[in-house]
């Protein structure tokens, strides 16, 4: 008996001991998700009780998974009530997966962070000739400078005190406007709206769900970054005479639609984990912008390409386009890598970045007589004389490597070796302006920023903190060679000066993201390219021109580069076209801009990459924009909501999802193909034998006959039927077929051609993009 009792005691003790040292189960990790339920079927006027019932339905729906309405209420931080149906909530991964299985759910996806598409750390629009990039008075006058248009910007907010948003001469705010001017709780930052800047909202719950509570001083629509002010003024800024950056580029600043009303929807906040603009906030902003009745939405930000129903921008913008709103987005700054383009949904206008025929020249002179053309917007050297010159690696600090010091990374330069000298630093890995900061902190007097091989000939004018000049890769190699060839190298930097009508221009920016489209290869992206290098526009005076902590300067205008800057150029043009043709669909406006764009530079040669290689439609889409031609495109490739739904059918989405998407039954057509989607380009990946695609064009000009002109891609025969289209009235539509056949050349990669419809006056040009595979 005692033996049995003793054994029992030992077993209990062992169990107790085991329980003390047992590893507890891992705590479930909660993240923020978006539960997308499709569309609402509200009427034109929605009352607050209706919106409250929507939110309550979201609480009840989530409660069925979490066990109580109280838990659901605590979890949900956004209820999308107006046009987008869904909510954003804090959930466990298992909970999100279970919700995704529900038949009333279209998709559940993570609240991901996206980036601003400026190259600052990582327009000033001037009148030009007929072949230039910006609207001439003919378009501006006909469109009344965009006076009837409301342009919205999703970005970092706005600096309302900028003269670009002066409302002098403006009449009453348009009666259709439903928006508000949201201010901070205390309004200590003095934010205001007026008859030009008619609205402002800010959204940060998605950011806070990921990053934690935001500093209260940021919680307003005020632009603490400069990016939002720059992009909004490029799209719709008023006329401002005498604008410049430290005297360079002096002229009259103006947006693409200078008399448009503008509104800001702030969705971007201090960067965290490479994200700053979160999906949940973007969707909330878009839901309000649609309801506020804007005409154009400009979005200079993006993330990695994703499934259309798992991407906040793609989901939200579909609802906007369905309501007739033109949405323009930036292509991204991950070039020149192939397949790097973002914002690839076919209902978006996706914009790459190219140069202007204007340079801010800052020459570098070496004591051996070599004179190299660079660019900068910095202050001049204290004296016009030669200074000792070294490269970063010659000043490597004791705890750094030469490979880091040549890039002038923080803490890599030895002050005893830098003091009083000009330092040549290699571009890459750290911000351009930060390299100048490191030289200045080490006691240097100037910076020569030498492009790496990928940057090639792309020169970006920055308001450097110290005298500086950025030079091309080839010229940079000359500087490094000179430094290594003599015991006492010296150089001087000439003050910046502005030159216009420079050649060749435009050419593609190396940073501009490239195709092919990795989500739907049959859809060419980007759509077009626009000025995105060294663009002068309004800037926030709450930050410095470099955005670096040590820089205390404040200026009303600044240069920025990136597809962020290219995007609002197209947004402004879209505003003019919307004002001129209020009943054109977003697809018609895209087509007009796309098919009238140019693919040759001002030397009448094919547009080049920054590396001087020939550009392709994967760089520039339809080409570099020509707004005046877009005013009268002749024909357009139009799209209706049903066409987009057919596209989604062909992309593999089911009818249950589409019913939720549209709030009405939709039957997918039989044998529907993405190749027949009525896009203004023809892209066929992996053409093994032959394929026939169909397109449809609408006459938006005068009556006449259009003939087909084809430039065949190498190794591909192209046949168009019929070869001519006769239009007897305006708005008449005609269909045609294009048959592409692989000639069996076994070519590698993509080849390019074009189809042009011409009536002798208009030239409606569409790229043909084909990759060939071995015939079966």
Active site residue 564: yes
Catalytic-residue membership of 155: yes
- Among residues 144, 216, 157, the alpha carbon closest in space to that of 187 is found at 216
Hey, how many other C-beta atoms are within 10 angstroms of the C-beta on 39? 19
Given pLDDT bands bounded at 50, 70 and 90, which one contains residue 135? low
Catalytic residue among 224, 227, 624, 762: 227
Set 233, 510, 540, 564: catalytic member: 564
Distances, alpha carbon 606 to alpha carbons 507, 583, 612, in Å: 9, 35, 10
pLDDT tens per residue, range 633-661 = 999 999 999 999 999 999 998 888 888 87
List the beta bridge partners of residue 492: 365
Mean pLDDT for the chain overall: 91
192-211 pLDDT, tens digit each = 999 999 999 999 999 999 99
- What is d(CA 508, CA 473) in angstroms, rounded to the nearest whole number? 16
pLDDT over threshold 60, residue 379 = yes
Angstrom distances, CA of residue 18 to CA of 5, 24, 27, 154? 20, 12, 20, 56
Q: CA 707 from chain center: how many Å? A: 36
Provide the pLDDT for residue 660: 81
Q: Which of 18-32, 666-680, 757-771 has the least mean pLDDT?
A: 18-32
Nearest residue to 144 (alpha-carbon basis) of 583, 593, 627, 579: 579
What is the pLDDT, as a whole number, of residue 1? 41
User: Residue 4: is its pLDDT beyond 50?
Assistant: no
pLDDT band at 774 (very low <50, low <70, confident <90, very high): low
- Which residue blocks in 69-156 are alpha helix, DSSP H? 69-75, 93-100, 137-142
Mean pLDDT value of segment 134-147: 62
pLDDT digits (tens, 9 = 90+) for 547-592: 887 888 999 999 999 999 999 999 999 999 999 999 999 999 999 9
Residue range 322-358, pLDDT digits in tens = 999 999 999 999 989 999 999 999 999 999 999 999 9
pLDDT of res. 654: 85
Give the single-character DSSP code of 237.
P
C-alpha R_g of the chain: 28
In the sheet where 468-471 sits, what is the strand order? 371-372, 364-366, 490-493, 387-391, 422-426, 446-450, 468-471
Active site residue 68: no
What confidence score (pLDDT) does residue 189 get?
Answer: 75
pLDDT of 151? 98
Structure tokens at 33: 């998700």
Nearest to 538 by CA among 47, 171, 276, 165: 165
- pLDDT at 129 (0 to 100): 34
pLDDT of 42 > 90? The answer is no
State the Cα–Cα distance between residues 120 and 174, nearest whole angstrom.
Answer: 36
pLDDT at 752: 97
DSSP secondary structure, 2-21, as one string: HHHHHHHHHHHHHHHHHHHH
Mean per-residue pLDDT, 716-733: 97
Q: Report whether pLDDT(10) > 80.
A: no
Is pLDDT of 450 > 90?
yes
The tokens describing 112, both together, are 């991901």
Give me the phi and psi of 697, to 5 degrees please.
Answer: -120, 145
642 with 665: CB under 8 angstroms?
no
Question: pLDDT of 220-262, one tens digit each?
Answer: 999 999 999 999 999 999 999 999 998 888 999 999 999 999 9
As a whole number of angstroms, the distance between CA 539 and CA 560 comes to: 10
Q: Which of 58, 79, 83, 155 is catalytic?
A: 155
Query: Where are the alpha helices (H) located in 467-581, listed in sequence order?
Result: 473-485, 563-580
The CB-based long-range contact list for 721-726 (8 Å cut-off, 24+ gap) reads: 725/697, 725/757
- Closest to 459 in 3D by CA, of 334, 362, 330: 362
What would the two tokens of residue 371 be? 């004179």
Which of 653-659's residues contact partners 24+ apart within 8 Å by CB, and which partners? 653/309, 656/103, 657/106, 657/107, 657/309, 659/38
pLDDT, residue 508, reads: 94
């Amino acid at each position: 008996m005692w033996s049995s009792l003793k054994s029992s005691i030992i077993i209990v003790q062992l169990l107790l001991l085991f329980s003390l040292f047992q590893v507890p189960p891992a705590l479930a990790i909660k993240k923020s998700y978006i539960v997308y339920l499709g569309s609402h079927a509200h009427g034109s006027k929605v009352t607050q009780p209706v919106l409250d019932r929507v939110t309550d339905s979201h609480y009840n729906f989530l409660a069925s998974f979490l066990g109580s309405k109280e838990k659901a209420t605590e979890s949900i931080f956004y209820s999308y009530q107006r046009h987008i149906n869904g909510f954003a909530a804090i959930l466990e991964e298992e909970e999100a997966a279970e919700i995704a299985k529900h038949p009333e759910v279209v998709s559940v996806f993570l609240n991901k962070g996206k980036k601003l598409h400026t190259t600052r750390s990582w327009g000033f629009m001037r009148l030009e000739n007929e072949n230039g990039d910006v609207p001439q008075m003919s378009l501006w006058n006909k469109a009344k400078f965009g006076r009837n248009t409301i342009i919205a910007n999703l970005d970092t907010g706005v600096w309302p005190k900028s003269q670009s948003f002066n409302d002098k001469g403006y009449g009453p705010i348009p009666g259709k406007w439903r928006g508000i001017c949201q201010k901070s709780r205390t309004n200590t930052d003095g934010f205001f709206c007026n008859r030009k800047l008619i609205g402002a909202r800010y959204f940060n719950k998605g950011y806070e769900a990921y990053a934690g509570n935001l500093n209260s001083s940021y919680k307003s629509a005020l632009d603490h970054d400069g990016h939002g002010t720059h992009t909004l003024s490029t799209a719709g800024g008023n006329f401002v005479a005498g604008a410049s950056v430290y005297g360079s580029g002096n002229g009259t600043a103006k947006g693409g639609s200078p008399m448009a009303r503008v509104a800001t929807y702030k969705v971007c906040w201090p960067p965290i984990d490479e994200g700053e603009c979160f999906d949940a906030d973007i969707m909330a902003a878009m839901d309000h912008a649609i309801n506020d009745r804007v005409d154009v939405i400009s979005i200079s930000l993006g993330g990695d390409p994703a499934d259309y129903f798992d991407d906040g921008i793609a989901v939200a913008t579909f609802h906007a386009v369905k309501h007739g709103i033109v949405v323009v987005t930036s292509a991204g700054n991950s070039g020149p890598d192939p397949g790097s383009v973002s914002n690839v949904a076919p209902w978006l206008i996706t914009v790459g970045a190219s140069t202007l025929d204007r340079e801010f020249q800052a020459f570098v002179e070496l004591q051996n007589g070599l004179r190299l053309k660079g660019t900068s917007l910095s202050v001049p050297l204290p004296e016009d004389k030669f200074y000792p010159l070294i490269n970063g690696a010659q000043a490597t600090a004791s705890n750094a490597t030469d490979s880091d010091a040549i890039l002038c990374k923080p803490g890599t330069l030895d002050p005893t070796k830098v003091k009083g000298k000009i330092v040549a630093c290699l571009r890459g890995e750290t911000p351009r302006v930060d390299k100048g900061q490191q030289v200045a902190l080490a006691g240097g007097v100037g910076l020569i920023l030498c492009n790496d091989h990928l940057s090639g000939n792309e020169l970006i004018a920055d308001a450097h903190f110290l005298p500086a000049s950025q030079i091309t890769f080839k010229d940079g190699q000359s500087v490094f060679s000179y430094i290594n060839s003599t015991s006492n190298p010296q150089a001087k930097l000439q003050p910046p000066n502005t030159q216009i009508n420079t050649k060749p221009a435009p050419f593609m920016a190396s940073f501009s993201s490239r195709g092919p489209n990795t989500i739907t290869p049959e859809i060419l992206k980007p759509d077009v390219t626009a000025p995105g290098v060294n663009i002068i526009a309004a800037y926030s005076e709450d930050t410095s021109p470099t955005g670096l902590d040590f820089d205390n300067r404040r200026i009303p205008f600044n240069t920025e580069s990136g597809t962020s800057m290219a995007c609002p150029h197209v947004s402004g043009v879209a505003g003019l076209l919307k004002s001129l043709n209020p009943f054109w669909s977003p697809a018609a406006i895209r087509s007009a801009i796309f098919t009238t764009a140019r693919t040759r530079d001002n030397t009448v040669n094919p547009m080049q990459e920054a590396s001087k290689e020939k550009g392709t439609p994967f760089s520039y889409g339809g080409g570099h924009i020509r707004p005046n031609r877009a005013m009268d495109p002749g024909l357009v490739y139009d799209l209706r909501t049903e066409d987009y739904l057919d596209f989604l059918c062909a992309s593999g989405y089911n009818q249950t999802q589409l019913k939720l998407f549209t709030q009405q039954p939709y039957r997918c057509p039989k044998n529907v193909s993405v190749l027949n989607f009525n896009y203004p380009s023809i892209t066929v990946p992996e053409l093994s034998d032959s394929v026939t695609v169909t397109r449809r064009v609408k006459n938006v000009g005068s009556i006449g006959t259009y003939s087909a002109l084809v430039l065949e891609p190498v190794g591909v025969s192209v046949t168009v039927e019929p070869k001519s289209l006769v239009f007897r009235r305006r708005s008449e539509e005609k269909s045609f077929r294009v048959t592409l056949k692989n000639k069996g050349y076994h070519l590698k990669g993509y080849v390019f051609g074009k189809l042009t419809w011409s009536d002798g006056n208009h030239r409606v040009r569409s790229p043909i993009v084909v990759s060939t595979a071995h015939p079966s």
